[in-house]
Chains A and B, each alone.
Chain A
Amino acid sequence: MSCNPAIGGLAKGQMVREIDALGGAMGLVADETALQYRLLNRSKGPAVRGPRCQSDRAGYERAMTARLRAAANLEMVAGEVMEILAVGGRVTGVRLGDGEELAARAVVVTTGTFLNGVIHCGTEIAAGGRFGEPASAGLSDSLRRLGLELGRLKTGTPPRLRCSSIDFSRLERQDGDAEPVAFSYLNPPPQIEQMPCYMTWTNEAVHELLRRNLERAPLYSGQISSTGPRYCPSIETKIVRFAEHGRHQVFLEPEGRESDLVYANGLSTSVPRDVQDAMVRGIEGLEQAEIVRYGYAIEYDYAPPTQLRATLESKAVVGLFLAGQINGTSGYEEAAGQGLLAGANAALGVAGRAWLVLGRDQAYLGVMIDDLVTKGTEEPYRMFTSLAEYRLHLRQDNADRRLTRIGREAGLVDERRLALLEEKEAVMGKIAAALEGARAGGSSLAELLRRPEVTLAGLAAEHEDLARLVAASPAAAEQVEIEIKYAGYLERQARHVAKFRKMEERGIPEDLDYAAIGQLRHEAREKFSRVRPVNLGQASRIAGISQSDVMVVEIYLERRRRGEEGMKN
């Protein structure tokens, strides 16, 4: 965790649930180390609810490391990889800084912000991967030699404050949910003592201070030219771009139960230290606050992700997989999802088994990877629920039903998880049957439940059998309720999904020579050649590609197929 001490959020929480459903560790570790739980958008529709928790930063690292140490068949080697070794376009291993070589048939590169990382704090510029840690210097050249193209991105982080130096008494307090919900499908509702967050605001005086010092801010002095995320602007960017706002929100988030650090979410900045000191002390509640670690901006290399297949394997080198910020994403959840899938595919590839690729209709993870490999990204990519076409279907409550069997197939999911899912589905079946079977006032309970004012809890209060089932699995009950209440919309979405699927199933051979399709527009030929879509659906999602372009490819493929058939006969 090099950014905020929190896991999940809108769209991100859904991804954590998906990672968990596939057997990943993120949800489990988040539950182990949570300080506070909130289900965001609780008052809105079920598809857009996102679980989030504040995490114990040091605890998270400890728990994750412990899990890795305990994992069977896993050997950990610490060292800096200087070079990826490959022979004939196929990965053979890595070379470490001390010259040692590790042989491997598959390599997953997850460089975070370390690849040629440069840290900016005011006019101070230093090589580094994050605060106090060296950057990875040699690897970029190695990747380039292997034929990968690299670009540059930027992100930032706010100052960390000493908890005991903050006057919380005047600040708005934000508590966790009264009835918290765990991240992992394996866990019961959490029983922890939750820690609060606090909220304060910047003010005109602080903005004026920042404005006076803009020429010393790397983002405005020309010192940084790479692209940062639009959704996570620095405080100096906010006061410039939204000059009409008299104040901006600052969330004060605890870094841990034992920690005396507080994360000042909303104050991401790279202005010089003296300006950061003055800025913090100009904010209500922070008048005496001590900055333990200053905010900074960081620039790093990434590999534009259209160079990857949907398995996250690079097109240039067989067995070389990339995941996380090196693919232009930002966020722990985005990185974890890619890490899980890249790792799974590296292993599946070596074992000669079927790839694990999720569709846009199956998971946010599928939406993310399809966006990355089909459209690429020019700013750090973050997941939003609005990026998913089938949002109503990709919910946090049904990630297990969407993905756990797929994970089992790929060897990621253990028996216990599968058994829990089957149990939940059995209860769902019973609840649905009970709702269909029982009648009240001439309608079945299922029909009644479709009315906005009727709830499953309300019906259960009057029907004992139902109440027992709901108590047996509240998660199953929630899902039955959602599926009944939103049935019309879900059916409509299912029809869209069926159409989408058909195009996804129309494969395009990898070796297709687009230059040979004379009828394609020049622009289309060029785009197809670069992205090399694997099916007609993906082809149609490439920016600037028209329906006619896809149809020409379709006809060409059919001609080719018949030509080959003719040769066989």
Chain B
Amino acid sequence: MNNSDDTIVAVSSPLGSAARAIVRLSGPMALRAALTVFQTPETIEETATWRWWAGTVALAAGGTTAAVPAALWLMRGPRSYTRATIVELHLPGNAAVVEAVVAGLCRAGARAAGPGEFTARAFLNGRLDLAQAEAVMAVISAGGERELAAAQRLLEGRLSDEVRELVGRLRRLAARVELAIDFSEERLPIVSAAEVAAEAGAVRDAVVGLSRRAGQTARGDGEVRVALVGRPNVGKSSLFNRLAGAERALVTPVAGTTRDELRETFVLNGSRVVLSDTAGLDEAVADLRRSDEIYGAARRRTLAALGRADLVLVVAEAGNVIAEESVRSDLGRLLATLAAPAIMVINKCDLAAPDGSGGAATQARAAAGIIAGRGRVVTTSARTGEGLEELRAAMSEALGQGEVDRSAEAPAVAARHRECLELTSEALGRVAELAAGEFDEELAALELREALEALGGITGESSREEVLREIFAGFCIGK
């Protein structure tokens, strides 16, 4: 359970931004934890506050240590956002650096912040006024849901199966140790120290492997995903080129992964944006009415791209927003299933009649009806460049929703997962150590419990009753 005077840490700038990343700490141990990773030749005076120092963070890589330039900002409580001491480490915007720093801070006693926790503390400590309470609760609540979604995303497929499998193995091991304690009178097979050492060691190796891969997943996730959808010939491609191309000097192009999905990376307001031009809108909405066989693969790809997106741009043609009522309502339903916000882009405004029934205002109203409060409507011309600035501003705004929490969510989740995995592996190391020496079931059980609690933190599962369930399911108990 969270405790308001723990020291918490979160990545508070968009990871993957070209410029820099900010790792933020709040709590009584903030400065002490930060100084375990940050070195400066200068002296940080007792009373100094609202000041910064230049220095380095040390990064161990491949047996050598590299010093990466960094800055430390110190805002002592109570004159800070949370009223507790806040320390920010400003780092190069490199995911590996950020990860290593966060891991170091967690080792020094900081805990990865929960969704909305900085905001919650600011409120609880009187930084935010009463009128903001509703908003704070909304941020936390939405943060919780989003975090679940993000965790899901990080845990897609094999990774999540592996975590569950390891949780299962640990529960079975814990059950055998607990069996020796709580049911020692039953003359059941007693687990030996060697067995405990072997299994704890094997699970630990697997956890370390997972931790390594979880880091890689996080790096892939340090970006913002924007998906473009629309029917053919509404100017999607030129819009795509406009958005990506305008900043081309700044981008590293990423090759498209499939013929159906064109991808381009650019930087928008400091965030790395991956823009993907998905398959057509018809395919996306088709599943709602048609059979799998016809649209199967294309539909799945489109839906997957939309599901991964942080923002969806629905492109339509001025003068012909989306004529068919049935497609409009299907689109509305599709958007309702997505977690991401949407922007309706009405393109080719240069070709539309300036007034009348096909006029821009009418069009905009129809479009607003479709996206039903999920975002804004912007009118553009990809050909002339009209409205592009407005679209970029709308995208920034949509992506900035939730501010700190929103942009930090994926890496924050990854940081928490790594913290969980690290705690698991440490506890298992102690189990193996105990089993190798004076084997004391009770202490081994205590360490296994910590390992399970940490690993269960990833999937949100508690093991307290589950271990007993394992015992009753696997062993004949009860005289």
Instruction: Please determine whether B144 and A546 come into contact, CB atoms closer than 8 angstroms.
Output: yes
Instruction: Please determine whether A503 and B3 come into contact, CB atoms closer than 8 angstroms.
Output: yes
Instruction: Please determine whether A41 and B1 come into contact, CB atoms closer than 8 angstroms.
Output: no
Kindly state whether residue A550 has any CB partner on chain B within 8 Å.
yes
- What residue in chain A is nearest B182 (Cβ atoms)? A384
- Report the Cα distance A563→B114, complex, angstroms: 26
**Given A384-B468, A386-B178, A552-B137 contact (CB < 8 Å):** yes
Contacts of B178 in A (CB 8 A): 384, 386
* Residue from B6, B124, B143 whose CB has the most chain A CB atoms within 10 Å: B124
- What residue in chain A is nearest B474 (Cβ atoms)? A242
- Report the Cα distance A216→B460, complex, angstroms: 44
- Report the Cα distance A555→B114, complex, angstroms: 14
**Given A555-B140, A556-B137, A558-B133, A241-B476 contact (CB < 8 Å):** yes
**Given A265-B479, A546-B460, A40-B442 contact (CB < 8 Å):** no
**Given A238-B478, A549-B144, A555-B442 contact (CB < 8 Å):** no
- Report the Cα distance A468→B438, complex, angstroms: 30
| Beta-carbon contacts under 8 Å, A521-540 to B | 521, 536-537, 540
Contacts of A9 in B (CB 8 A): 185
Residue from B138, B181, B440, B479 within 8 A of A266 (CB atoms)? B479
| Beta-carbon contacts under 8 Å, A486-505 to B | 489, 499-500, 502-503
- Report the Cα distance A335→B413, complex, angstroms: 44
Kindly state whether residue A101 has any CB partner on chain B within 8 Å.
no
Instruction: Please determine whether B468 and A503 come into contact, CB atoms closer than 8 angstroms.
Output: no
| Beta-carbon contacts under 8 Å, A185-227 to B | none
Binds B, one of A43-51, A87-95, A107-115, A131-139: A43-51
Kindly state whether residue B88 has any CB partner on chain A within 8 Å.
no
- Report the Cα distance A551→B467, complex, angstroms: 28
- 8 A–B contacts, CB within 8 A, in A order: A48-B182, A229-B478, A385-B182, A489-B446, A518-B137, A520-B141, A547-B2, A552-B137
Kindly state whether residue A233 has any CB partner on chain B within 8 Å.
yes
Tier of interface size on chain A: 35 or more
* Residue from A248, A540, A552 whose CB has the most chain B CB atoms within 10 Å: A552
Contacts of B411 in A (CB 8 A): none
Instruction: Please determine whether B137 and A232 come into contact, CB atoms closer than 8 angstroms.
Output: no
Instruction: Please determine whether B438 and A452 come into contact, CB atoms closer than 8 angstroms.
Output: yes
Kindly state whether residue B81 has any CB partner on chain A within 8 Å.
no
Instruction: Please determine whether A548 and B115 come into contact, CB atoms closer than 8 angstroms.
Output: yes
Instruction: Please determine whether B140 and A551 come into contact, CB atoms closer than 8 angstroms.
Output: yes
Instruction: Please determine whether B140 and A44 come into contact, CB atoms closer than 8 angstroms.
Output: no
**Given A44-B440, A231-B472, A558-B123, A519-B184 contact (CB < 8 Å):** no
**Given A265-B479, A548-B144, A555-B184 contact (CB < 8 Å):** no
Contacts of B392 in A (CB 8 A): none
| Beta-carbon contacts under 8 Å, A284-312 to B | none
Contacts of B182 in A (CB 8 A): 10-11, 48, 384-386
Q: Interface readout for B411-441 with A: 1 if CB under 8 Å, 0 if not?
A: 0000000000000000000000000011011
| Beta-carbon contacts under 8 Å, B115-159 to A | 115-117, 120, 123-124, 130, 133-134, 136-138, 140-141, 143-144, 147
Contacts of A452 in B (CB 8 A): 437-438
Instruction: Please determine whether A386 and B181 come into contact, CB atoms closer than 8 angstroms.
Output: yes
Kindly state whether residue A387 has any CB partner on chain B within 8 Å.
yes
**Given A265-B479, A503-B1, A47-B442 contact (CB < 8 Å):** yes
Q: Interface readout for A536-569 with B: 1 if CB under 8 Å, 0 if not?
A: 1100100000111111101110110011001000
Kindly state whether residue A463 has any CB partner on chain B within 8 Å.
no
**Measuring CB to CB, which residues of chain A are less than 8 angstroms from any residue of chain B?**
9-11, 40-41, 44-45, 47-48, 229-233, 238, 241-242, 245, 248-251, 265-266, 268, 384-387, 391-392, 452, 489, 499-500, 502-503, 517-521, 536-537, 540, 546-552, 554-556, 558-559, 562-563, 566
Q: Besides the contacts A45-B441, A392-B446, A546-B460, what 20 more A-B pairs have beta carbons closer than 8 Å?
A: A9-B185, A10-B182, A48-B442, A232-B478, A241-B476, A242-B476, A385-B182, A386-B467, A517-B137, A519-B138, A520-B141, A546-B144, A547-B144, A551-B140, A552-B141, A555-B124, A555-B136, A558-B133, A562-B130, A563-B130
| Beta-carbon contacts under 8 Å, B426-479 to A | 437-438, 440-443, 445-446, 460, 464, 467-468, 472, 476-479
Contacts of A547 in B (CB 8 A): 1-2, 114, 144
Contacts of B115 in A (CB 8 A): 548
Residue from A40, A248, A517, A519 within 8 A of B476 (CB atoms)? A248
Q: Interface readout for B316-352 with A: 1 if CB under 8 Å, 0 if not?
A: 0000000000000000000000000000000000000
Contacts of A268 in B (CB 8 A): 478
Instruction: Please determine whether A556 and B133 come into contact, CB atoms closer than 8 angstroms.
Output: yes
Contacts of A45 in B (CB 8 A): 440-443
- What residue in chain B is nearest A232 (Cβ atoms)? B478
Contacts of B443 in A (CB 8 A): 45, 489
Contacts of B441 in A (CB 8 A): 44-45, 48
- What residue in chain B is nearest A387 (Cβ atoms)? B464
- Report the Cα distance A387→B445, complex, angstroms: 12
**Given A231-B472, A238-B476, A245-B476, A551-B117 contact (CB < 8 Å):** yes
Nearest chain A CB to B154 CB, angstrom units: 17
Kindly state whether residue B365 has any CB partner on chain A within 8 Å.
no
Instruction: Please determine whether A44 and B1 come into contact, CB atoms closer than 8 angstroms.
Output: no
Contacts of B161 in A (CB 8 A): none
**Given A503-B1, A548-B144, A562-B130, A44-B138 contact (CB < 8 Å):** no
Kindly state whether residue B162 has any CB partner on chain A within 8 Å.
no
Nearest chain A CB to B253 CB, angstrom units: 38
- What residue in chain B is nearest A496 (Cβ atoms)? B450
**Given A242-B476, A386-B468, A555-B123 contact (CB < 8 Å):** yes
Instruction: Please determine whether A40 and B141 come into contact, CB atoms closer than 8 angstroms.
Output: no
Kindly state whether residue B260 has any CB partner on chain A within 8 Å.
no
- What residue in chain B is nearest A10 (Cβ atoms)? B182
Which 8 pairs of residues, A with B, have the shortest CB-CB distance? A548-B144, A45-B442, A559-B133, A519-B137, A266-B479, A242-B476, A230-B472, A519-B141
Contacts of A559 in B (CB 8 A): 130, 133
- Report the Cα distance A25→B468, complex, angstroms: 31
Instruction: Please determine whether B185 and A391 come into contact, CB atoms closer than 8 angstroms.
Output: no
Kindly state whether residue B186 has any CB partner on chain A within 8 Å.
yes
Nearest chain B CB to A453 CB, angstrom units: 9
Residue from A248, A384, A391, A555 within 8 A of B446 (CB atoms)? A391
Contacts of B187 in A (CB 8 A): 249
- What residue in chain A is nearest B467 (Cβ atoms)? A386
